[in-house]
Chains A and B, each alone.
Chain A
Amino acid sequence: MSPLSRKAAIAGIGATEFSKASGRSELQLSVEAVRAALADCGLGVEDVDGLTTFTMDTSSEIALARELGIKELRFFSRINYGGGAACATVQQAAMAVTTGVADVVVCYRGFNERSESRFGQFSLAAATQVNTNGLDNAWTYPMGLGTPAATVAMQARRYMHEYGATSADFGAVAVADRRHAATNPHAFFYEKPITLEDHQASRMIVDPLHLLDCCQESDGAVALVVTSVERARDLRQRPAVVAAAAQGSGADQYVMTSYYRDDIGIPEMGVVGRELWRQSMLAPDHMPMAILYDHFTPYVLMQLEELGFCGRGEAKDFIADGAIELGGRLPLNTHGGQLGEAYIHGMNGIAEAVRQLRGTSVNQVPDVPHVLVTAGTGVPTSGLILSA
């Protein structure tokens, strides 16, 4: 048994509304989400002694502590690589709690990613950052490759060529997510399901990606309260136990542009998967559902393969015939995913996993003992297995 496994739990979850224009500062969004998460589990700000977030987050741990009225922090940390940080914030918190470095750690992420700094645009900031990531981007951005969709499209095209997957196979992911979002009142696309025909008819953004292969830029914040399993059991909600928490970076790794290794793909997610199965002593067959990071549809197929749900190139068959929709063999992203609910950098997916384990999802899957959750794809990333 891994010393990290089943020692910490997500006790509380909180979020703001998800919108295209929050009308508040990014810091305020995070303050609101943290307060909601604490209220959810019945802890107060005086209980919090750790904060962790994404390197990309514009609100520092100390700024958040000031606004919340947290007097002292014993633990604070940041994780790099965009959405790849999502599950790793929970790993940070679980490690801190398990080692006694902190008692209650809140993971947070808040941004105005639609109304202020838009992630889907060509990012000059990414191309000019003064560090090795900026130097890495010298080989793509000046050549015109500099939006998230474009970097994913390059992988998707090769994947289609190698394994015979089609745009319609990618579309099945969008259809499933939007079906789930359609019954989630918190989702952007509440009551707006799509058909595969809608997907195929949507305009091309970067071939082979259609508009409906891409998530929506969003404003909002999510916070997760992590404490020991023992303490969590005394709180208001049923704990979501951290059975496994892993990070992964692959050979010759880059941020969104790992194009120089023989078989491009996302082997970093394989690193995460192997570690999740090792720590948890569970296997893909034990998962009645999963939350797979879905900023762009093609990576959902590739993740199923890297995580061991099916063999290489077999995801297009695995997802066919509604297998990843409610009632299917492996429902994915029951909140609607980032394609359907909102793109809160993967943190909203972790919250949905917690709801599924509590039995309170709007799209509840029957009898959920475990949920696998993954973080950003195409980047150094992370994953969780949460258990009831």
Chain B
Amino acid sequence: MTVRPMVNRDSQFFWDGTRAGELRIQRCNACGARRFPPGPACQSCDAYDRGYDVAAGTGTVFSYVVHRHPPVPGKELPIVIALIDLDEGVRMVGEVVDVSDEEIEIGMPLRVDFNRIDDELTLPVWRRAEEMP
């Protein structure tokens, strides 16, 4: 069983995006500032008017962990989880699904992929950048 995200009006666009195969990053319609995680008020200019960019889906590892214990719902352990600096200048947490605990390192380039859980939920996951077609 996968842990499902709590979603509200401010974050719905992100999860609509993953379902559509897009990694969406909130962008302020007034000043253009990007942010992640999303929220209702621009941290740069205070505006509420906001849209999103579709990220290129590339980034590098800022930090990472290898989770071995205790159990994580819906996961077969160990799993590699990274904090990823996206090329658009925001940072997010994601599971790295095809890099072993021996190989993962800070600075490694990654590319996003999408793991469809069911009709409602698709999770972004990350793979080694050079192995993508």
Contacts and interface: CB of A to CB of B under 8 A. Distances in A.
A157 B81 contact: no
Contact of A157 (B68, B79, B106): B106
Interface string B1-28: 0111111101100000000000000000
Interface in A19-75: none
Interface string A143-155: 1111100100111
Interface string A181-203: 00000000000000000000001
Contact of A207 (B65, B70, B71, B124): B65
B62 A147 contact: no
Given A137-B6, A257-B93, A144 B72 contact: yes
B81 A204 contact: no
A122 B71 contact: yes
Interface string A123-156: 0100111100011111111111111001001110
Given A144-B75, A161-B63, A204 B68 contact: yes
B11 A138 contact: yes
A150 B36 CA distance: 20
Nearest to B121: A142
B32 interface: no
A127 B6 contact: yes
B67 A142 contact: no
Contacts, number: 116
A121 B70 contact: yes
B74 to A, nearest CB: 8
Contacts of A143: 81, 93-95, 123-124
A222 B45 CA distance: 46
Contacts of A257: 93
A268 to B, nearest CB: 18
Interface in A214-269: 257, 259-260, 264
Nearest to B124: A143
B91 A124 contact: no
B67 A138 contact: no
B118 to A, nearest CB: 13
A101 interface: no
A157 B3 contact: no
A139 B6 contact: no
B114 to A, nearest CB: 13
Interface in B85-103: 90-95, 101
A135 B6 CA distance: 5
A168 interface: no
Contacts of B6: 127-130, 134-135, 137-138
Interface string A1-26: 00000000000000000000000000
Interface residues of A, number: 39
A142 B4 contact: yes
A128 B8 CA distance: 12
Contact of B5 (A142, A205, A208): A142
- Label chain B's interface by main secondary structure: loop
B52 interface: no
A323 interface: no
A120 interface: yes
A388 interface: no
B37 A136 contact: yes
B68 A124 contact: no
Contacts of B37: 136, 138-139, 260
Contact of B65 (A124, A141, A145): A145
A145 to B, nearest CB: 5
Contacts of B36: 139, 260
Nearest to B74: A144
Contacts of B123: 142-143
B83 A122 contact: no
B128 to A, nearest CB: 17
A155 B64 CA distance: 9
Contacts of B5: 127, 137-139, 141-142
A226 B101 CA distance: 49
A144 B63 contact: no
B63 A155 contact: yes
A271 to B, nearest CB: 19
B104 to A, nearest CB: 9
B66 interface: yes
A124 B3 CA distance: 7
B99 to A, nearest CB: 13
A136 to B, nearest CB: 7
Interface of B: 2-8, 10-11, 36-37, 62-73, 75, 79, 81, 83, 90-95, 101, 106, 121, 123-124
Interface of A: 120-122, 124, 127-130, 134-147, 150, 153-155, 157-158, 161, 203-208, 257, 259-260, 264
